[in-house]
Amino acid sequence: MDVRIDALKGVVAALDREDVQRISLPLPDDARRAALARAVAAAEAADRGPELAGLRKRMRHEAFVRYDRALLRPTWLGLNWGLSSGTSEDRAAVAAALDEAAVLAIADDLLSEADRDVLGWAAEVLLGSAAHDTDSGSLAHALPGDAGGRAATAAAAIGGVLLGVGLIVAPIVAAAAALTRRRRQEP
């Protein structure tokens, strides 16, 4: 059980704010709610209630933290106020998927195969869509605190500064050259 819990925490910690914004899951239907109730009852019957409550609370917190971080992201040129973080239904569905994943991590060995399938699919869709280290097209994923991300950020910042300096200095140099040429041509 501890291995499943640690694996879930690791995968959820790797979720980027864009991962939860680009996925759309349905809210739990009757089958998912019934499987969740059976899983919770099985976990409590096996004296896993405290672990279950703690992990469920943490997963709900993780879901909302991902959206909180996506609400305001200043950029070099503006703000992301025009970008949607999804509907409230999308947010609730992501929180429900992470909650189901928490219950599954605690009660996996206590459930039928059918209940594991019902509870696991939403989390698989969500966690399977996450950006990974091999995603070369995800600049947002390349920027976290690893060395490659810091190097990419530093290179982009230096390039931006050089470009900005070049845009300011180039007209000045051109004007000075034109004035110098004009003075040489005058008798």
What's the pLDDT tens digit per position in 57-67? 999 888 888 77
- Whether pLDDT at 36 is above 70: yes
Question: How far apart are alpha carbons 46 and 156 in whole angstroms?
Answer: 54
The proportion of the chain whose per-residue pLDDT surpasses 90, expressed as a percent, equals 31
Residues in the chain, how many? Answer: 187
Q: Would you say 49 and 107 are in contact if contact means Cβ atoms under 8 Å apart?
A: no
Question: How far apart are alpha carbons 61 and 66 in whole angstroms?
Answer: 9
The dihedrals phi and psi of 78, each to the nearest 5 degrees, come to 170, -155
More confident residue, 44 or 147: 44
Per-residue pLDDT averaged across 18-38, rounded?
Answer: 87
User: Can you tell me which residue has the tokens 């690791």?
Assistant: 10
Residue 24, pLDDT score: 79
- Whether pLDDT at 40 is above 90: yes
Helix (H), strand (E) at residue 158: helix 147-185
